Structure 1
């Protein structure tokens, strides 16, 4: 990526219709410790600072990645933790969180759920954007040749896109069973 390039390293979004009100959808997706019920990697976690699901609150996620995920690349395998800071919380509309680095600084890696009324229910959008490489991606790609780097970015982007779709399908089931 060129120094003046503003194209994000990764950006993906997926959406799904949910038979529930925006407030009901938000109540579920903003309860991040429950994410293990629907996420393909996050197995749950806990709020570690601030008022849960409000701007500035910090969530520590427990994650699990299998060996077959972009298997050739040196990504973290097994269990690991992340910390994320809520950067936007609008009940019934949106929640966004930025992954923090090892010093606790929010990185240019933002996940979100956005909700709007649609067809007697809600349109739920799951979005991920990483503008510049995070501390973790920097470690993974250090030492890769330009061709390996391009391959990694392509394959990781495809993995994230598939994860977003799978997560939305699972979370819709959780929401619709609870209303």
Structure 2
């Protein structure tokens, strides 16, 4: 029997900043280009202007930092101020994966967890069977880089 890699993962980093300050970074998609190694810009779309459930934005991505770029449509699916910011990636009809941030006050700062979760469709499972190990490692490294860059902004 073939064991599939997990369809998701997460990375946590403690930041010496209150949840309100961390929230301002993770929920402002227009700043993601400062932090992410793959998504170098994003913009609110379809009349959306800020974080709320149902808001749309698009992320401009360069996979693995190389190759062609493309725009990924996204929709905010969970938005609990200073607690959770999550969004789906895909079209209105098909969600490919979900990304998010969980904020937990801890030790006078905030434990920030970035996570992703692939949708368990047949195409996604096949993709993950072939490339899941490599893509998962890239995602973990990217999440750690993103969080460490945010930490550097919050802890100058």
TM-score bracket, normalised by the shorter chain, equals 0.7 to 0.9
Distance 1:48 1:107 in 2: 17
- The runs of 5 or more residues in structure 2 that have no matched partner are none
TM, length-normalised to structure 1? 0.76
TM, length-normalised to structure 2? 0.86
* RMSD after superposition: 2.7
* Superposed CA offset, 1:40-71 (max 9, x none): 10011110033411000001111123577xxx
How many residues end up aligned between the 2 structures? 154
Give the alignment partner of residue 77 of structure 2, picking from 87, 105, 130: 87
Superposed counterparts of 1:156-171, under 5 Å: 156-171=135-150
Superposed counterparts of 1:25-44, under 5 Å: 25-44=22-41
Equivalent residue, structure 1, for 2:62: 64
Larger radius of gyration: 1
Report if aligned partners of 2:37, 2:64 keep a CA contact under 8 Å in 1: no
Equivalent residue, structure 2, for 1:131: 119
* Superposed CA offset, 1:95-152 (max 9, x none): 0000022xx23515110010010111100000111032597x58x94xxxxxxx6441
